[in-house]
A and B are shown apart, each in its own frame.
Chain A
Amino acid sequence: MSATVQESLDSLRNTRNVLNEMPGNLRNGWSLEDQIKFADDLHRISQRILQIETVKMTKGNQAFKKHETQLKKASAKLESFSENESNFLLMVRNINNSLGILDEIVELIH
């Protein structure tokens, strides 16, 4: 059980790393709308990571019990975009479209 929560956290951290490593000069060539999507993606993922870390510290893995499978699924989906999509722009758009589920799950846990 605890492995699932840790795996979810690792998936989100991996996705954040890929976004953080995206060169600024590449993003500057995108439309304003896509640049905003990039910023929202990075912000929302790192915000959720902070919240998961805080819950993990105060309440332990038991707090995730009801939602851990959904959390794992949502996190893995985001990570799969960062792993498999070689086009950065499409990656950012795909992540943006899938973040709503992560938001909902973390709100329930938080």
Chain B
Amino acid sequence: MKTKVTQPSEKSKQTPLSGTALRVTLTAMLLSGCSNSTLVKSYSLSASSVAYTKTVNELLDETINHVIDVDSKELLRTRIGTNPKQMLKDKNKSMKALIGEINNLRQQISLMNNYFINLQALADSTVKDDAGVNLGRISSRIQYMNNRPRSADDSTRIDKLFSEKEEGYISQMASMIVGSFYAARIETALRRDAPIIAKQMLIQEKQLKVILGILQNRLDTANRMHLTDKVIIPYAAIKDPSFNQDEWVSNRRKWFQLEQAAPIFADVQAAQKALRLAWEDILRGKKDIGAVDTMLTDVNDFLGTLHALDQSRKDESYLSHPLGE
């Protein structure tokens, strides 16, 4: 039963992407903001942003569900511990902290989505002297959310997230803007918001990496529990009169299916990185079109598969075997 486990490590799941692949649909976002007033592919601005936000929200939901489920199954295993009531209380507190942070990220991603939609609206605006007041409010909100301390000893929270090199990258963002490419009102907004948005994207990139590691780990843990409780233990209990052969065959098949549902974790990270590089392209006024939509499609397929498999496993009353937990 005891086996050496090779954990899926967060650091090993990154996929190097070519520069071409990272020229993203979002680049088209600001084409409508060009000084020549073209509206070519302006739809991509809000469409890509909305699609990305929806996908990441689903991923965050899946992560929260799996974290809670695995934790609850473990709590059932540890009920006999020294102080069950205190153990449950401690776990609830830790879970709330983690879920709270995941939901903070959700809020930030939603703000980013609003920012891009409003940037598009500003680019599309026919109102003369439209200063994009909403856009300014949103970027201020993003900046505030990133810099606010969460507790007295937490004032350097965001600073800790960035290396010196990354701080340098953020501070250089405004200088990337090609002034002559955009209408004056867009250029003003971009100069103001470039470092704020870049910083936010870097934060999201880092936090998503951690979240994907957590989701990957909980999927792995859930699969191991399934194998132990529903496949190995019933099979080894040769004298158990309640052994149901059909159910066992089905459970074993499900374990193989779960193992083979190769998660596309790297694609989510790639999509997030692509968004950040697209933001650079927007600032530089480049017109390249990239692959975010394709990657998002893959990720959505994965989420659909994950949900279906998980549902089928839950339908089989996961913890019911008398010799299991």
Residues of A in contact with B (beta carbons under 8 Å apart): 2-3, 6, 9-10, 13-14, 16-18, 20-25, 32, 35-36, 38-40, 42-43, 46-47, 50-51, 53-54, 56-60, 62-63, 82-83, 86, 88
Instruction: Show 26 A/B contacts (Cβ-Cβ < 8 Å), sorted by A.
Output: A2-B11, A6-B9, A6-B11, A13-B5, A13-B7, A17-B5, A18-B5, A20-B77, A21-B2, A21-B228, A23-B236, A39-B80, A39-B81, A39-B82, A50-B71, A50-B98, A51-B97, A53-B213, A56-B210, A57-B101, A57-B105, A59-B160, A60-B160, A60-B161, A62-B160, A88-B2
Interface residue B214 (Cβ < 8 Å from any Cβ of A): yes
Which residues on the A side are within 8 Å of B176 (C-beta)?
none
B:155-170 near A, CB below 8 Å: 157, 160-162
Q: A63 vs B3: C-alpha distance in the bound complex, in angstroms?
A: 32
Which residues on the B side are within 8 Å of A9 (C-beta)?
213
On whether A39 and B94 interact (CB within 8 A), knowing A21-B1, A25-B237, A60-B161, the answer reads no
Interface residue B148 (Cβ < 8 Å from any Cβ of A): no
Whether the pair B157, A42 counts as a contact (CB closer than 8 A) is: no
Whether the pair B74, A40 counts as a contact (CB closer than 8 A) is: no
On whether A86 and B98 interact (CB within 8 A), knowing A46-B74, A47-B90, A47-B91, the answer reads no
B7, B207, B220, B233: the one within 8 Å of A23 (CB): B233
B27-57 CB mask vs A (1 if < 8 Å, else 0) is 0000000000000000000000000000000
Interface residue B224 (Cβ < 8 Å from any Cβ of A): yes
Which residues on the B side are within 8 Å of A47 (C-beta)?
90-91, 94
Whether the pair B323, A25 counts as a contact (CB closer than 8 A) is: yes
Whether the pair B74, A60 counts as a contact (CB closer than 8 A) is: no
B175-193 CB mask vs A (1 if < 8 Å, else 0) is 0000000000000000000
How many residues in B have their beta carbons less than 8 Å from beta carbons of A? 52
Chain A contact residues: helix, strand, loop or mixed? helix
Whether the pair A18, B2 counts as a contact (CB closer than 8 A) is: yes
Interface residue B310 (Cβ < 8 Å from any Cβ of A): no
Interface residue B253 (Cβ < 8 Å from any Cβ of A): no
Residues of B in contact with A (beta carbons under 8 Å apart): 1-5, 7, 9-11, 71, 74-75, 77-82, 87, 90-91, 94-95, 97-98, 101-102, 105, 150, 157, 160-162, 206-207, 210-211, 213-214, 217, 220-221, 224-225, 228, 232-233, 236-237, 323-325
User: A51-B94, A56-B210, A62-B161 are known contacts; what are 5 more A-B pairs with Cβ within 8 Å?
Assistant: A10-B9, A39-B77, A39-B78, A47-B94, A59-B160
Q: A82 vs B3: C-alpha distance in the bound complex, in angstroms?
A: 9
Q: Which 6 A-B pairs have the closest CB atoms?
A: A39-B81, A62-B160, A39-B78, A60-B161, A50-B94, A10-B7
B150, B217, B233: the one within 8 Å of A24 (CB): B233
Which residues on the B side are within 8 Å of A38 (C-beta)?
80
Which residues on the B side are within 8 Å of A42 (C-beta)?
74, 77-78
Whether the pair B221, A50 counts as a contact (CB closer than 8 A) is: no
Nearest A residue to B80 via CB reads A39
Q: In the assembled complex, how far is the CB of residue A75 from the closest CB belonging to chain B, in whole angstroms?
A: 12
Nearest B residue to A57 via CB reads B210
